[in-house]
Structure 1
Amino acid sequence: MSTSHRRTVALSKRMELTEFLRSRRARLKPEDVGLRNLGGRRRVAGLRREELAQLAGISVDYYVRLEQGRTQNVSTEVLDAVSGVLRLDHHERNYLRNLARPVLPRPGAGAGRDQVRPGVQRLVDMAETSPAYVVDRRLDVLAWNRHACALFTDFARLPLVERNWARLIFLDDDMRALFADWAGKARDTLAHLRVNAGNHPEDPEIARLVGELSAKSETFRRLWADHEVRERSHGRKVFNHPLVGELVLDFESLRLPDDPDQTLIVYTVEAGSPSEAALSLLGGSGG
């Protein structure tokens, strides 16, 4: 990472740290954390800086410098205290730690598209009756099987730059129509991308992706401003497929132990359900 790029990344992290902490203060009221609400008009929504500092056991000046990204080597104890007051969950705590740490060169920060190991590709292919695919930290789709193409889209026919899950969710009308709860899927996708952006602030491709989606999608731009941080490792999705109608599928999302920047997503179906018959028909249709 060049010196100029490191400065740019550091500035971006400082801005994100400020906005993230402000957004988390804004969602709490004094009475939520045991403080008396003395009434009257408050100039800021949520907790004031001095209230948060008092509850976290640090000076107001130190918290102000932390929120503005002007601290160096802030301790884990301080970050944990602030996280506790703000009621951050596991993902949000990790995100805050990543934002507060110094910018250090990381190998492969500007590298091109990742590759999956042959064994991972075979694992995806072996899921013969389950849609399965692999994404990297930029949400580029790296591997997929026949059922994933039948359910979502023929990834092989997409130009490489469009073979990206975030672009598909926010910019593809067919994908919007496929998910019964598209708004929920959009929030999950964006929150996952923000986690990855926090883990890899030095990756220029993630920054470019965020910039492109912010310019092309008003929904993305609005949701990105909420600073939501989340990774869903499992859940249920309902699809409205143009060929077979409604499908109710469960998914498991697994980060690969030896390649933690790659995530395997597999959709399964309840045995004997109408969705199983529909999924079987969809797979047999060849997409």
Structure 2
Amino acid sequence: MRYWTLASPKTQKEKLQAWMAYISSYPELLEKQINNYKEMGLNWMEFAERVLFRIEDYIPLMKKARDNAFEICNNVYEQATRRIKLNLDVIFVLYVGIGCGAGWATLYKGHPACLIGLEKIAELGWWTKDKLEGLIAHELGHLVHMMWRNGFRSFEEEEKDPAFLLYSEGFAKRCEHLILGRETWNEADDENWISWCRKHIKFLAKEYLSRIEKAAPVNDFFGDWLNIRGRRQTGYFLGRELILWLERSNSLESIAVLSPDEVREKTIRFLRFIAKN
């Protein structure tokens, strides 16, 4: 807020410079965000300017998100230790970024961390306590998955495989529901989203399978700025269904440690089964 108070009446370029001055105090956060855009082949400065153009409107919601996160982080963490055996010291990092994500499970300063992007939370409308609980539980689910796989440094690389990504996001979604003891769907566009996903699961499975076979991008299954037939983030639903399907004959712990080859084989088998039935 110190930086923004001085920059808010100024030009877009000066606003970007103010954000750079702020985030440069946390060089690892800056590097992660720039690399995130570069890996997608996007110009990070262009996206940063778009986000910063709207920050003024987001400030009241970012403040609410920050206050609410401080209230609930510890409680959700405690629930994760009890319900899915989380056994990690987790750093929660609340920051103002450039749209890379509302939540991000990763390593920060060498420690397991949950990065909480206040600007993205404000944009998505996830600043309320119930929405934040879902977000934080989801990221803790990713961290549990990384812990069981002993793969904090390899996990993000493995997620470049769309089959592994579906499995990973589905696993975190399943953990989110187990941690909170209820189904939470922040991804839902509206009250009909979940029923639409259930009704169209065969189509979703066929489409995702086709992307795997063609080595085509699956961003529109996960990115909130893209959609499949007008429905956003349907990959989280499809991934959760994959994990439930695997749980019919496996424990959650054994599912967590499948090799990348096993993940790919089982994910494709699930998609083919759903697509045919």
**TM-score class normalised by the smaller sequence:** under 0.3
Q: Higher strand fraction: Structure 1 or Structure 2?
A: 1
Q: Which has the higher contact order (CA 8 A, sep 6+)?
A: 1
